[in-house]
Structure 1
Amino acid sequence: MKKFSITFFLTIFLIGTDSLLISPLLPILAQNYHISLAIAGWMVSAYALGYAIFALLAGPLSEGKNRKHIILAGLIGFGLSTFFCAFAPNFAWMIIFRLFAGISASFIMPQIYAAVPTLVDGQNRIKLMATIGAGVSVSAIAGVPIGSVLASIIWQFPFIIIALLSAILFIILAKLLPTIQTPKPINHSFFSPYRHIFSNQRTRLYFLALLIFFIGVYSNTTFIGTWLAKGFHLPVEIIGFAMLFLGVGQLLGSILSPRLTLHFGSSKLLSLVLLTIAIVFFFVPFSTHLVLAIATLFIFFLLGGIQFPQWMTLIQESSPQALGTTSSLFSATVYLASTIGGIAGGTLFISFPHFFGVSWFSSLGALIAFLILVRIKTKKS
């Protein structure tokens, strides 16, 4: 399992880093392409939009196919698209290349999630999922700093490095991964995996809880930096260090997740985490001292690292015949939640003082998700 852990961690880390490294480049690219910063932000949106839309297509298309081939094809597209970003002659071409990078990533990450139950079983599955979660966490911590450091040499450098690393990972995964063939469902059509998923009430409830919970999470995390700036008058560099510290909490949660799962089980552990997050979010706006605010947020990020592999494990177990589609739908649901959460969070942040609206909205989302899980457990018993 160790060889899968390392390579999957590096692959997820690379993709996560690529999605974030463009953020510190926006002022440079805006100047280079003679556009405003607001328009430059479309380069971030193009990647996310490509990923979110094509994840819904990649899932059904992957059923009955060799997941190894899909992962490798995605890496080729991802590497080439990112490489061409370094030489985009104008803003329009940069948008196209970022869009294709997001599309390519949508064929990689969900297939890695879907491959886990095939490659390992039992407790090793949770460990491998936690390792993947750690890759996401580390990329969130390191993505912006890495982009900043590489861009200080020349702005094209981050894209070239990511492309070269993608080529190296392609070679490693081509040799390392076995054939990950899944049986093609009877009467298979493009929509049949979705019909299978949504005909299962337990799976529908899991996705509903996932969407509600992450809408609340993203409404909060999107504006944490703004709250720290306005509520505690922190400069940008200090906020950066604070977010780095919070990211370490998320990484620590990913490391602790397998051991806690062994003790509690995925369903009970996720329920406990959601209930605790609801309580933490309720008390966040009462943190009038900076140290208390950071400590409270650190607990949330720690719990956030614990909960990720539990969601994926429970959803996959509820629909084992459509792992590729459930994994892709998982990613698309999280991206949809981030979009809705960002819009809702902005309205709540300006409408209520000292983070009350945002945090209590997040608390309510976690509480509703907890109650949905309780209902699922009650129906199972």
Structure 2
Amino acid sequence: MRKHTALFFVIMFLIGTDTFLISPLLPTLQTQFGVSTGHAGWMLGAYTLGSAVFALIAGPLSDGWNRRTVLVCGLLGFAVSTALCGFAGGFWAMCLFRLLAGISAAFTAPQVWASIPVVMPPARIGKTMGVAFGGLAAAQAFGVPIGSWLATADWSVPFWTIGIAALVLAAVAFFALPDIKPAASAGERTAILRRYVPLIASGKARSGFLGYLFLHLGSGTAFAFAGKWMADRFALPLGQIGTVMMFLGFGTLLGSMISSYAARKLGTATTAVAVSMSMVAALYAVMPHLTSLPAVTIAYLIIFATLGIVFPIVMGALTSLNASIRGTISSLANSTMNGANTLGAWAAGLLYVQFGGYASIGIFSAACLALSLGTFLFGGVLSPNADRAGRESASAPQAPS
């Protein structure tokens, strides 16, 4: 069983590394392809767009297929499309390959979550879920900096490395995992799509996902051009940008570890979210005006540690909306996150070029966090039931934004 746990961790680590890799590489890729700052963000947005759109259909479709086959095929597609990024001869080719990588990830990641309850004994399901979530956080702490350091040799090296690693993982998954045959008929698969209807009809669910959209829009916009801003403001080379990015990942890991403790210490999960999001909004507004790199690094560490506290609690609140369709809620949350990151990449480029650089991004992100918090509170999403669910969800490491 340990080999399955390790496999799921490494799969999510690779997907997380590939997701976040473009941000520190953005200045290098912009120069490589001769693209304007305003358009460079689409190298980020193409991946998240593909993942956002196909996450809505990948889960329901794959429920009728052998999950091992879907996982292996997803990894093969992910390996090829990511490796092709290293051969991209221009901006639009890179966007296409990033789009394909995002689509492949949308089919791969859900199979991890769906396979764990099948291949693991009941006593180890929760722990294995936590380990898989930890792979995403570890990607931001270690995978992205390692990718940045590899890129100092050549920008294409990290893409080739991830592609080769994913190819090896596909072979390992094929031999290590058993067949995971579908339990539903074709008619039941169609019914799965209708499970989105209760969420659309629920005012609390609409408020919850709107608030979740604003939360990721704010954090995603700020993250998208963080590497570009540090290169412009402090003249940092690629390797040093990766080092700073490591602190973002450490912050996420730290926050996810203390999320449950923070909720207990502040009395309720609602209070923890309100205090945390208010502090992050203030830091987003202030950080672009900091003049020293150590101060910026500390600010990023605090921001991502605080977001690491918020995300588990919010996810607990969302999944408590309807216990019978938690899988559908998770798919919609993943799609919402990637959709927000796609919009954030586009907004970051526009704001950075047209409206005063990173300072305008800081204000925009702060406003998004304020809107998110208001939507959660006035929509009744952070209720006493959500408090309990948030504390339970916070007991395991969660995915970074």
TM-score normalised by structure 1 residue count: 0.76
Task: Measure the CA separation in 1 of the matches of 2:215 and 2:360.
Answer: 22
Structure 1 pair 292/212, CA: closer, same or farther in 2 (3 Å)? same
Unaligned stretches of 5+ residues in structure 1: none
For the 8 Å contact 2:27–2:227, the answer to whether it is kept is no
Matched, 1:371 2:373: no
Instruction: Assess if the C-alpha contact under 8 Å between 2:9 and 2:134 holds in 1.
Output: yes
In 2: Cα distance, 1:301 partner to 1:102 partner: 23
CA spacing shift, 1:82–1:57, aligned 2, 3 Å:
same
- Cα–Cα, structure 1 residues 205 and 297, in superposed 2: closer, same or farther, change >3 Å? same
Structure 1 CA distance, aligned partners of 2:306 and 2:10? 23
1:245 corresponding residue in structure 2:
247
Bigger mean CA deviation after superposition, 43-52 or 83-92: 83-92
Deviation at 1:200, TM superposition (A): 5.0
Q: Deviations over 1:33-62 (max 9, x none)?
A: x64355665444332322222222213313
Paired residues in the alignment total 374
> What RMSD in Å do the two structures reach over aligned CA positions?
4.3
Structure 2 Cα separation of the partners of residues 279 and 122 of structure 1: 39
Q: Which amino acid aligns with 1:357?
A: I
The aligned counterpart of 2:15 is 15
Equivalent residue, structure 2, for 1:193: 195
Q: Please list, as runs of the form range in 1=range in 2, the aligned pairs for 1:225-264 lying within 5 A after superposition.
A: 234-237=234-237, 241-257=243-259, 260=261
**Measured at CA, do residues 72 and 317 of structure 1 come closer, stay the same or move farther in structure 2, by a change above 3 Å?**
farther
Within-5 A mapping of 1:203-218: 203-218=205-220
- Matched with 1:110 is 110
Counterpart for residue 390 of structure 2: none
The CA distance in 2 between the partners of 1:27 and 1:357, in whole Å, is 22
Q: Which residue of 1 aligns with 2:391?
A: none
Aligned-partner residue type, residue 213 of structure 2: L
Q: Residue type matched to 2:279 in 1? A: V
Residues 289/104 of structure 1: CA separation in 2 closer, same or farther (3 Å cut):
closer
| Aligned partner of 1:308 among 291, 307, 311 | 311
Is the 2:207–2:375 Cα contact (8 Å) retained in structure 1? no
Shift of 1:104: 0.7
- Tell me which moved more, 81-90 or 58-67: 81-90
* One-letter amino acid of the structure 2 residue matched with residue 338 of structure 1: N
SS state of the match for residue 183, structure 1? coil
**Corresponding position of 2:274:** 275
Alignment partners' CA distance in 2, 1:220 and 1:379: 31
Give the Å deviation of 1:294.
4.7
What do residues 234-280 of structure 1 show as CA deviations (whole Å, max 9, x unaligned)? 342566544432321112223445x649x85xx954x3442122231
Measure the CA separation in 2 of the matches of 1:170 and 1:292: 42
C-alpha displacement of 1:334:
0.7
Does the 8 Å CA contact 1:86/1:159 hold for their aligned counterparts? yes
Conserved in 1, the CA contact under 8 Å of 2:23 and 2:226?
no
Give structure 2 stretches of 5+ with no counterpart: 388-401
Query: How many angstroms apart in 1 are the aligned matches of 2:154 and 2:286?
Result: 44
1:328 and 2:310 equivalent? no
> Identity percentage over the alignment?
33
> Aligned to 1:19, what secondary structure does the other structure show?
helix
Distance 1:229 1:105 in 2: 29
